[in-house]
Structure formats: C-alpha cells, structure tokens
Amino acid sequence: MPPPKEHFFNVRTPPGTSVDEVIDALEGLVGIQDIYSVQHHGGFDFQVGVNSVAAVQTLLETGGLRLGTRTVPLVPVARQVTSVTCLYLPCYVPDNEVVTGLKSYGTTLRIEEARYKDRPSIRTGTRYIKMDMRLENPLPNFARVGGHRATFEYRGVRRLCRRCNQEGHFKAQCDTPHCARCGVFGHRTDTCTEPCRRCGGAHASVDCTARKSYSMAAAMDVDEFPALGTATAAGQTQRRMTTLRPAKRPKPNEDGPEPQVIPEKNARASCGHYGTNGTGAAAGRQTDRCADASEHAQRREAGGGRQPWPC
C-alpha cells in the first residue's frame, strides 16, 4: 500500500538535472531505505515520496534539496498549515489588508502581533500568520501588502531576488542584466530590439518624443499656425480690425498766428440753417443747402478736416 499524501513532495530542479542527481540528493537526507519513489512530471518538475514519518519530518525541517550548487525547495503535496513570519510591515496596516494581500497565496487562518517581553503593551511590528498555503503558488519571501513591501519567512520559503524577482539568488549577488530601453531584466540594452512602448517606433521608450498627456497633445506648435496672407476658406468671413488713429490737427504756421478752432456747437450756431441752440426750427434737420460753400470749407479746414454739421 502506498504512503499517504502527506509523504510526497514536489521539487523543481535546475535545467539539466538528471533523475540520478535527485535520488542521490534525497538519499543524502533520508537514506536509500526511506525513498519510496522519484517520479518525473515533465520538464524540470519531479515528485518524490518517502516511507516513514521521520523522513517526512526531516524533509520538512530541511525545506530544500541540494542539487549541485543550488538548493531547490521541497513543497509538500498535501496542504498543511504554515507558520509565516511577516517583517517590515508598518503597524498601521490593518489585518484585513494582510488577508487581502495574501489571498492569492492561500487562506489566512490567524494573525498574531508580536510584543516586547518586558513591555507586553507595546508591539514590535512583527506579525505571526497561520495560513493554508497553496502548493501551486506558494508565498514568496517578499510581497506587497496594503501598498507596502513586506518580507515573509517560513520553512521552505520560495526566495526571490529583490532586484529582478527571479529565484536562485539574492539582491547582493544579482548579476541579471537590466535593459534601460524596455525596462526588462534578462538582456542588455545594446542587444534590445523591442520597439518603443509608447509609439511603436524603432527607438528606446526613454527617448520617445511623443506627447505624453492631453494638454501636451492639445497644445499647438508654432509652425502649425497658418501663414500670413493666405486666402480665407470658402464660406468663412474674415474679420477686419479697425485701427484707431489720432485726428489730424493743423500744423501751426511759423510766420502767422495760431489757427482758430471753431467748436462744433459754435459752428452750427453760426450757420443760418440752425438755431442758436444747435437745433433750429426744424429740430436739428437741415432746411436748405448752404449758399456759401467757401465759408464752410474754411470752417471745416479750421476744425481739423471734420464736418460736424450736415451742411
């Protein structure tokens, strides 16, 4: 009869790892007599089974399998309650946000806050979480909770680099190339052939000159204004601007006296066609044409070329 489900573990090996290497690494932990099976599940995935409870406890305490220069995690097939320590998460983040942030990795059962031993009323900021973790998507060693980056520690944790988010190394030893053109880890900038993410052009996204906002797109460049002197489109009326200029005043005569400016009401009063009050018998209307045109011409010239009366 085969062992129960709790005696089996999944392991993802590095590329090029053989079955013999997996068996040798497992034998070094529990011995050849406690190995029940080593099954290849395709690709880099293996499933190993052990016979005794002592071997299961050894694999749980070890948490990983040493293959060459790397240690890969041993993930139990059966769901087990995992004790997770949450570090560096601000104390003002409520527990319900922790439950929401860890929802994709499993079900949170209980959250406890650590306190100082000598001052139990003061919290340390560390939280102890009991959760039923999903085997297909275990909690990494860091994740964002409530907009903050928190660190998680537990047995068999899936450790990721804080720089490139890849497994197998830490940030201090990270040498994964980063492309400054497309912003992706894994290749150098000089070998990147990705088009611009903003406009699709054959240049880097950081060098893109395309407008980034609506206000910039709505603004017109100087060269987009129509040239002066162009004809108005059909069906459109062109408004003309009226230029205000000062009235021409007569130039003073150097040899003669200053010209006399006759006010408008005086000019109208001096004309026989109007009354002395500027309205006349016809209520301001012209009754007859002026007989002496030369006299009015002189008055008009003296008034700066203006004709304030309708004669």
pLDDT score of 248:
67
Boundary-marking domain end, from 20, 52, 76: 76
Residue 52 lies in a domain: yes
**What CATH number corresponds to the domain at position 117?**
3.30.70.330
Instruction: Please check the confidence at residue 152 and state whether its pLDDT lies above 80.
Output: yes
Give the contacts of 180 (CB within 8 A, at least 6 positions apart): 189, 204, 206
pLDDT score of 87:
93
- If you average pLDDT over every residue of the chain, what do you get? 76
Are 133 and 193 in a shared domain? Answer: no
List, in sequence order, every residue forming a beta bridge with 8; answer none if it has no partner.
49
130 or 243, which is more confident: 130
Boundary-marking domain end, from 137, 153, 169: 153
Listed ranges 198-207, 208-217, 260-269; the one with the highest mean pLDDT: 198-207
pLDDT score of 45:
92
Give the contacts of 156 (CB within 8 A, at least 6 positions apart): 60, 63, 64, 73, 74, 75, 138
CA distance 53 to 37: 15
126 or 176, which is more confident: 126
Boundary-marking domain end, from 27, 48, 76: 76
How many separate domains does the chain show?
4
Residue 219 lies in a domain: no
Instruction: Please check the confidence at residue 23 and state whether its pLDDT lies above 80.
Output: yes
Are 23 and 67 in a shared domain? Answer: yes
pTM (two decimals): 0.38
Residue 254 lies in a domain: no
Query: Over the stretch 213-271, which tens digit does the pLDDT of each residue have?
Result: 655 555 544 445 455 555 455 445 555 556 666 666 666 665 656 555 555 555 455 55
Residue 218 lies in a domain: no
Are 25 and 62 in a shared domain? Answer: yes
Instruction: Please check the confidence at residue 47 and state whether its pLDDT lies above 80.
Output: yes
Q: Are 116 and 124 in contact (CB under 8 A)?
A: yes
For the ranges 230-239, 276-285, 291-300, the lowest mean pLDDT is seen at 276-285
Query: Over the stretch 70-122, which tens digit does the pLDDT of each residue have?
Result: 888 888 887 667 899 999 999 999 999 999 999 999 889 899 999 999 999 99
Are 72 and 100 in a shared domain? Answer: no
Could you tell me what percent of the chain has a pLDDT over 90? 29
135 or 117, which is more confident: 117
Query: At residue 281, what are phi and psi to the nearest 5 degrees?
Result: -70, -25
Q: Are 87 and 150 in contact (CB under 8 A)?
A: yes
Residue 276 lies in a domain: yes
Residue range(s) defining the domain that contains residue 197: 177-208
